[in-house]
Chains A and B, each alone.
Chain A
Amino acid sequence: MAEVEEQPVPASPQSEERSEAGEEAPDGGAVAAAADAVPPPAGSPGTEEAAGDMKKKIDVLLKAVGDTPIMKTKKWAVERTRTIQSLVDFMKKFLKLMASEQLFIYVNQSFAPSPDQEIGTLYECFGSDGKLVLHYCKTQAWG
């Protein structure tokens, strides 16, 4: 399987959008490294999932719906315990949306997961071919 990396800070920005995204990722791969993501300590209760699983990070593929701006980087390696809300916050920054603008995320092109839902759990139940595909849209697509 192809190695999926978080977007590295670009060496030579090709577009304004890309360079600004680069500037905003000093934490190095914004999605996984933000300060509020605290992985559970090893051996703590509730790590049954981690024990049996090979993957610490989930490969997420982001697909735009309709005329929603397209993420320049579509593939991301995301920590299991990242929430949908956390991913949305990151995408809004990356897409340079205003805080007031909404971004809707869909799984299986059929339901919008709760903002506090974890990427790892969604991947367990709805992943395929080693990745979780998420569609996103600025307006409600599948209700």
Chain B
Amino acid sequence: MTDDKDVLRDVWFGRIPTCFTLYQDEITEREAEPYYLLLPRISYLTLVTDKVKKHFQKVMRQEEVNEIWFEYEGTPLKWHYPIGLLFDLHASNTALPWSITVHFKNFPEKDLLHCHSKDVIEAHFMASIKEADALKHKSQVINEMQKKDHKQLWMGLQNDKFEQFWAINRKLMEYPTEDSGFRYIPFRIYQATTERPFIQKLFRPIASGGQMHTLGDLLKDVCPSAVDHEGGDLRFFTHCMDIAMCSHRIYHLDKR
């Protein structure tokens, strides 16, 4: 794992240049300038956009401001998906900066979860970590940690502190020497071409013969139609959040 430290750092510090524009139907007292921000791939929209909210609130009346939500080309952006995943899924083909529209009205209840406070984000983040560890270690590692260790994971993410985060996360990425890997690999496959949320199944890191499973093995096993070559180009993105934040290996497939 220490050999991969450069990779881990690259993943952690990945950024997407983004331009936030206020939705034209929002009522403002004067013109709203767009707001530019470098978004961390591994974080969540509602965690890193306080400045965006403040910027647009300055030109709006208090009573016009409700819960903020974000949209890209008509698609509400799920704040509980990592930012990098949202970009790869919806906007990877377009030129940078990524153009996101900001709303304060007409919250799309059917598409988005509410996010009334940072506590909601923390709860979601920790639930992801716990779910991943349930797959990797039958929850043993996460349950053996103290509350302050859990808090350190969250604070590391919230404050963009790589070392602080990884001091705890490395334990979630280890396995006993007598085992050759995790119990199951935590992964999710998102596809741009379907309405289904994601594919998540049990998948062991080691095959029955003792050899390590490859990514190709995983895809063939859980997503066979995507590896079917129908003459289409299979584009495959590794969001690589895995190791970074919620210890999921998250990939998505974009079949063209």
- Tell me if chain B binds chain A: yes
Task: Report whether over half of chain A's contact residues are helix, strand or loop; otherwise say mixed.
Answer: loop
A116 at the interface (CB under 8 A from B): yes
A95 at the interface (CB under 8 A from B): no
Please name the residue on chain B nearest to A104 by beta carbon: B123
A46 touches B113 (CB 8 A): no
A48 touches B143 (CB 8 A): no
A73 at the interface (CB under 8 A from B): no
- Determine the chain B residues whose CB is within 8 A of the CB of A124 once the complex forms: 200-202
Docked complex: B206-256 residues within 8 A CB-CB of A: 222-225
B80 at the interface (CB under 8 A from A): yes
Docked complex: B133-157 residues within 8 A CB-CB of A: 134-135, 139, 142-143
A110–B200 alpha-carbon span in the complex (Å): 18
Q: A118 touches which one: B142, B193, B197 (CB < 8 A)?
A: B197
Count residues of chain B with CB under 8 A from any CB of chain A: 29
Q: A112 touches which one: B127, B194, B196, B225 (CB < 8 A)?
A: B127
Count residues of chain A with CB under 8 A from any CB of chain B: 22
Please name the residue on chain B nearest to A52 by beta carbon: B224
Q: B199 touches which one: A44, A49, A113, A115 (CB < 8 A)?
A: A49
Docked complex: B92-124 residues within 8 A CB-CB of A: 113, 123-124
Please name the residue on chain B nearest to A115 by beta carbon: B113
Q: A48 touches which one: B80, B131, B184, B223 (CB < 8 A)?
A: B223
Q: How far is the CB of B192 from chain A (nearest CB, A)?
A: 11
A48–B191 alpha-carbon span in the complex (Å): 12
A41–B21 alpha-carbon span in the complex (Å): 37
B126 at the interface (CB under 8 A from A): yes
- Determine the chain A residues whose CB is within 8 A of the CB of B135 once the complex forms: 125
- Determine the chain A residues whose CB is within 8 A of the CB of B197 once the complex forms: 116-118, 121
A binding-site residues for B, Cβ under 8 Å: 40, 44-46, 48-49, 107-108, 110-118, 121, 124-126, 143
Closest 9 CB pairs of A and B: A111-B130, A46-B194, A46-B196, A110-B139, A45-B194, A111-B131, A111-B127, A112-B127, A121-B200
**CB pairs A–B below 8 angstroms (17 shown):** A40-B195, A44-B194, A45-B193, A48-B199, A107-B134, A108-B139, A110-B130, A110-B139, A110-B142, A111-B127, A111-B130, A111-B131, A111-B134, A111-B139, A114-B127, A118-B197, A125-B201
